[in-house]
Amino acid sequence: MKKIIFLLTILTFSLKATSQEIKWLSLNKALELQKENPKKIMMDVYTNWCGPCKLLDKETFQKQDVAAYVNEHYYAVKFNGEGNETVNYKEDSYGNPNYDEMKANKRNSSHEFANFMGINAYPTIVFLDEKGDFIIPLKGFYKPQQLEFYLKMLVDDKHVQFTTQEKFNEYKKAFIPKFKS
């Protein structure tokens, strides 16, 4: 019995050692880092009460393939669309003046920056370019291979080549995902 417990303990530690987590930042920190080392930003806009947001964290963002790719190619931002963080973006400051601390884990008022970006559903994954300019929002839950498509397309700026829906469809059809499900 002691040998089984010992082996399970070793297995648990080895699994933790090989797992990788996304290095989440605030938007303010990511925008600051962009000045020294330009990278695109992948921003997870979530709320504390959102079930699909929690599923996205568990089923997609905690996968090793996703975490490794995001950490290498993007600044990853967690942003509570109903939180009270102050965001400094493009010479403007955004907050949540109607934030209610008593509703921290319930529906709360929308953050001004979420409104500025036009976020009206959670989760939404927002991509910003190396200058912090808005590229695209992805509303809803995405599995690892679904997110992989956008992560790889956007990091290489392939999206600027899609002047028609047909070109996008051709690219999507030819895309072969490599992330594990």
Write down the pLDDT at residue 19. Answer: 58
The answer to the question of residue 4 being in a domain is no
Give one word for 157, left, alpha or beta, with left for phi > 0 and alpha for psi -120 to 50: left
Kindly provide the residue ranges of all beta strands, DSSP E only, lying in the chain, ordered along the sequence: 24-25, 40-46, 74-80, 87-89, 92-94, 124-128, 134-139
Domains in the chain: how many in total?
1
For residue 160, CA distances in Å to 68, 88, 136, 147, 155 come to 25, 27, 12, 18, 11
Range of the domain at 112: 20-174
The answer to the question of residue 113 being in a domain is yes
Task: Encode pLDDT of 12-49 as tens digits.
Answer: 444 443 457 999 999 999 999 999 999 999 999 999 99
Enumerate the β-bridge partners of residue 125.
Answer: 44, 138
Write down the pLDDT at residue 143. Answer: 97
CATH number for position 122: 3.40.30.10
Write down the pLDDT at residue 122. Answer: 97
Task: Encode pLDDT of 119-173 as tens digits.
Answer: 999 999 999 999 999 999 999 999 999 999 999 999 999 999 999 999 999 999 9
